Homo-oligomer: A and B are copies of this chain.
Amino acid sequence: MELTKEQTQEIKDQQSQENKTKRVTAPELEKILYDAIPILDHGFIRVVDYMGDDTSIVQAARVSYGKGTKKVSTDSGLIKYLMRHWHSTPFEMCEIKYHIKLPIFIARQWIRHRTANVNEYSARYSILDKEFYLPDSEHLAAQSQINRQGRGDVLKGDQAKKVLDLLKNDAEQTYKNYEEMLNERYDGTVINEGKTGLARELARMNLTLNTYTQWYWKTDLLNLMNFLRLRADHHAQYEIRTYADAMLDTVKKWVPITYEAFMDYRVGGTEVSSKGKIVIQKMISGQKISIEESGLSKREWNELMSAFGLKEKIIQ
């Protein structure tokens, strides 16, 4: 990730603000406010604004006149209780806003979370930056042979080199032709004076899906956790997971008590079906239980055993 001088200066200007406020603040989050945290080869996330902290959740749950805090231990107990029992509305009382740069094919996954507010850089109006995502060689994975939606081993040697060359050349060529059609380069210089280029809203269709875009993305804490629970999960595509992981860090700095409860009950937790509960009960009481009796499919059985670290029970 490289920022222009101007962009670096704009970020510094924002960070040099020292405003007074009667609002609650999150001191650890303030420290990294506006910072561009690098993700992938040209992407980043930046926290650009936020509202509320852990005490805001307590305040809303109690509908109190004041700050809602009695003692940290009481607050922590209440937040854990709310998380455990899916009392979701108090977590909606905190809000955060990110500025994010990301490849278009990841943006298309991301936007499926409809509960956030989004303003994306407009390629109808402006020319997109000349930046495209090329995976690191360690992330250049083959198609999984067992999961149609997953990755297998990393590609090696010539095949890896060839894939990277194709991705790079195609991105560069289609971008060059994008400029050609626009009759304008990414830096604003005109190619042929006196000629009018193709409309921007049309020319963009020639770009490949690894081209970077950017947006402002704002959401409340509840919906952010829903997003992170799915996207920081190991089933998520690696590229979006790196964004989710970096965002998890910002949640930790922002609302540390909620973060801890979230990691315990959601990210690190598991769900057990009614049939699965019977299997676990029998195992605890030392009874034998076979997959046939359980009523679980092989896939379900293995997911259950895996969730409780019972690797020896996994059926090949």
- Name A residues whose Cβ lies closer than 8 Å to a Cβ of B: 3, 6-7, 9-11, 13-15, 17-25, 30, 33-34, 48-52, 56, 59-61, 63-67, 77, 80-81, 84-86, 89-90, 92-93, 95, 97, 99, 103-105, 107-108, 111-112, 114-115, 117-122, 124-126, 133, 135, 140-145, 148-153, 155, 159, 163, 166-167, 170-171, 173-174, 177, 180-182, 195-202, 204-210, 214-216, 218, 220, 230, 235, 237, 263-265, 267-277, 280-281, 283-284, 286, 297, 299-300, 303, 307-310
Task: Determine the residue in chain B with the shortest Cβ distance to A300.
Answer: B84
Knowing A15-B22, A22-B33 are in contact, say whether A141-B202 is a contact too (CB < 8 A).
yes
Q: How far is the CA of A103 from the CA of B207 in the complex (A)?
A: 13
Contact A140 B198 (CB under 8 A): yes
Residues of B within 8 A of A275 (CB): 264
Knowing A22-B17, A152-B196, A264-B275 are in contact, say whether A56-B67 is a contact too (CB < 8 A).
no
Residues of B within 8 A of A56 (CB): 49
Contact A272 B274 (CB under 8 A): no
Residues of B within 8 A of A210 (CB): 205-206
Contact B269 A270 (CB under 8 A): no
Task: Determine the residue in chain B with the shortest Cβ distance to A56.
Answer: B49
A-side interface mostly? mixed
Closest Cβ–Cβ distance, residue A291 to chain B (whole Å): 16
Copies per complex of this chain: 4
Contact B274 A263 (CB under 8 A): yes
Residues of B within 8 A of A20 (CB): 18-21, 25, 30
Contact A197 B268 (CB under 8 A): no
Contact B273 A272 (CB under 8 A): no
Knowing A93-B216, A117-B92, A269-B276 are in contact, say whether A150-B22 is a contact too (CB < 8 A).
no
Residues of B within 8 A of A277 (CB): 268-270, 307-309
- Would you mind naming 30 contact pairs between A and B with Cβ atoms under 8 Å apart? A10-B64, A10-B65, A14-B22, A14-B66, A18-B22, A20-B20, A51-B51, A63-B120, A89-B119, A93-B119, A108-B108, A111-B112, A142-B198, A143-B197, A143-B200, A155-B196, A166-B206, A167-B205, A170-B170, A171-B206, A173-B173, A205-B208, A207-B209, A218-B220, A264-B275, A265-B271, A268-B274, A269-B274, A271-B271, A281-B309
